[in-house]
Amino acid sequence: MKVTSLTMLTCIAWMAITGCRRENLSDAGAGAAPTQQSLQRDDAPVKIASLYAPSGYVKVWEDQFNTATIDASKWVAASLRDPVSGDLVPGAAGDHLLNTEYAGYITPEDTYIENGSLVLRNQKRSYSGSSPAGSFNYTSGWVMSMHRGFFNKGYIEIKAKFPSGDKVWPAAWLIAEDLTWGPEWDMFEYFGYRSDVGYDNMGMHLAYGEWPDVSWSSAWIKPFDGTYDCEAWHVYGFEWTDTFAAWYIDGVQVRKLNKGNAKGSKIYKKWPNENMYIVLNNGQRSSSPDATTTWPNYLTVDYIEVYQKP
């Protein structure tokens, strides 16, 4: 991915807001933190309404994961096929592998509900896959809301614990409903290691345009686990409007991308304006080392809520 040049917020400003060191890159600078109190980082999930939804939004879709199994009216679980057409999602290598950049074969047993949370598990094990056919050394979990939960602009809030370790590659992202790759919002995409950015990075990206004419605007929080603790509960927020997108962690804005200030008029003309669905997945990066990763590891989601303006 091509990484744009972004403005580094000063450590002094961040320390004033958060009381801890964090390196953050932003296209337009972080806004003021919302007035709500910071999330209490408990050991057990707490079922509550949105902590940080901006004013003027109303809830239009949610999953609190209180069911015994994954709600099939909201999610396609452990499959990369369009539930209506039966087609594979763009670029997929099979029903259970998005592409060869991923090392893990997606399985139903790694995609489940437990204790009121969605659990997407990474395992290191020998596995014989059928689609694509082959032998795999890892398995992982995946859900997507294609045709079952989608929206064009709004605010999405996810309370989650991310895994850490050099091999892991979990993400929460948005993909276009029309089975064409691009645009793509990477709300929060954690790389235990990626060769061009190093270790312990949380990415917040936009891929704009449609294949093959796709460009990237990227930003990173690094170190992420070293600053936030991946395995702690955090509330991850993403706001997408006609004029900007903003990323939040525990109510604090960590990136803002304006429609008109990245790559000149190109991003302005290709600013996403279509229905997009949600993907939540755990994964392992094929090209990353496996020296510091604990197995199994988990992307655990307490709730996900989508808000829009009336």
Question: Looking at residue 89, which CATH number applies to its domain?
Answer: 2.60.120.200
Q: Report pLDDT for 119.
A: 99
Rounding to the nearest 10 degrees, give the CA dihedral for residues 253, 254, 259, 265. Answer: 160
Assigned domain for 243 exists: yes
Token reading at 43 = 């050991």
Regions in the chain scoring below 50 on pLDDT? 1-48
The pairing of strands 133-140 and 104-106 is parallel
pLDDT tens readout for residues 106-140: 999 999 999 999 999 999 999 999 999 999 999 99
Assigned domain for 33 exists: no
- State the Cα–Cα distance between residues 108 and 110, nearest whole angstrom: 5
Q: How many domains does the chain have?
A: 1
Assigned domain for 263 exists: yes
pLDDT tens readout for residues 225-245: 999 999 999 999 999 999 999
Q: Taking CA 247 as the corner, what is the angle to CA 241 and CA 250, rounded to the nearest 5 degrees?
A: 130
Contact call for residues 59 and 305 (beta carbons, < 8 A): yes
Assigned domain for 34 exists: no
Q: Report pLDDT for 16.
A: 36
Q: Report pLDDT for 59.
A: 96
Assigned domain for 32 exists: no
The beta strands (E) that lie in the chain are given as 7-8, 25-26, 58-63, 76-77, 104-106, 111-114, 117-130, 133-140, 142-144, 150-151, 154-161, 171-176, 184-194, 198-210, 213-221, 234-240, 244-249, 252-258, 276-281, 297-308
pTM above 0.75, yes or no: yes
Domain limits for position 67: 7-25+53-308
Assigned domain for 277 exists: yes
Of all residues in the chain, what percent are helix, strand and coil, respectively (each to 5)? 5, 45, 50
Assigned domain for 114 exists: yes
User: In sequence order, what are the beta bridge partners of 306?
Assistant: 61, 156
| Non-local CB neighbours of 86 within 8 Å, separated by 6+ positions | none
Assigned domain for 17 exists: yes
